[in-house]
Amino acid sequence: MSGGPNVFKRYPRLINLKGLVPEEVIERDIAKKGDIYKKYDVLARHRIPTVNLCEVFPRHLERGRIVLENFLGQWGNISIEELCKISLIVSYFRPETIFEFGTYNGCTTLQMAMNAPNACRVYTLDIRPEEVGGTLFDVGEIGRYLAGKTDAFNFEIGHYFKGTPFELSIIQLWGESAKFDFSTFWEKIDLIFVDAAHTYEYVKSDSENAFRMLRKGGVIIWHDYMQMLHPDVTRYLYEISAQKAIHHIRGTNLALYCDGKGEQ
């Protein structure tokens, strides 16, 4: 991929990084990832169907009612459309247990907890700041840059749900996802949201743990499918879509797996 004076003109979809990450860091990162993105963007479009929620779940799910609060988020959060669609799935699915990889500010954690039954337990995992320098796998140059830029992310992990009534149903877990022991959750989680580190080794490791934790009939949702900045998510999902029925949710960067539905 060729460099140039303004990375955002060539890749308008990266505009949200403006002011947050120096252009030369983005240039270097994109130079390494650009070819993976181009390759798997085409391959995945051919194999992974893009669907409306009503093509995977009953039609009435799309007419459901959801509750959102303090949901505008910031850079690094999922979009409002993605939040609405995840909340609709949670509201329809009525999970007893939810597991989120990547708490961040806790915006999505809060919306999931609000739309789940009162008795639902929402587990959410994030890395301790002091562990960021010693991860098992590479997190990429932009990931390393953002991890060190404390003035941009100077907030408490999970602060969106702290002090809300939903804090009681949210269990915050700490650890590096590639080193974390998930065995107590095996086959116990109804709905899993994968959105922590986005390099191939992490997406693979987190997803494999997600599949082990998934209860029969459960749902896994990934963020950053078809996302230029994180092409390894698309690459991994394309690879497993040869064996597992993965769907892309229209209008979003979300991908979905429903246990027992459309298995090949």
Ligand X SMILES: C[S@@+](CC[C@H](N)C(=O)[O-])C[C@H]1O[C@@H](n2cnc3c(N)ncnc32)[C@H](O)[C@@H]1O
Residues of the shown chain interacting with ligand X in the complex, contacts defined by CB under 6 A: 76-78, 100, 102-104, 107-108, 125-127, 135, 176-178, 195-197, 202
For residues 234 and 245, which CB has a smaller minimum distance to ligand X in the complex?
Answer: 234
CB of 36 to ligand X, least distance (A): 19
Element (H, E) at 159: none
Element (H, E) at 42: helix 23-47
What are the structure tokens assigned to 96, written together?
A: 């007893």
Phi, psi angles (nearest 5°) of residue 257:
-130, 130
CB of 58 to ligand X, least distance (A): 25
For residues 237 and 245, which CB has a smaller minimum distance to ligand X in the complex?
Answer: 237
CB of 216 to ligand X, least distance (A): 25
For residues 102 and 218, which CB has a smaller minimum distance to ligand X in the complex?
Answer: 102
Query: What is the number of the residue whose Cβ is closest to ligand X?
Result: 102
CB of 214 to ligand X, least distance (A): 18
Question: CA 197, 3, 79: angle at the middle one, nearest 5?
Answer: 40
Q: How many angstroms separate the CA atoms of 155 and 180, rounded?
A: 23
CB of 153 to ligand X, least distance (A): 8
For residues 126 and 141, which CB has a smaller minimum distance to ligand X in the complex?
Answer: 126
- Strand pairing report for 189-194 and 97-101: parallel
Annotate 65-101 with three-state secondary structure.
Answer: CCCCCCCCCCCCCCCHHHHHHHHHHHHHHCCCEEEEE
For residues 177 and 253, which CB has a smaller minimum distance to ligand X in the complex?
Answer: 177
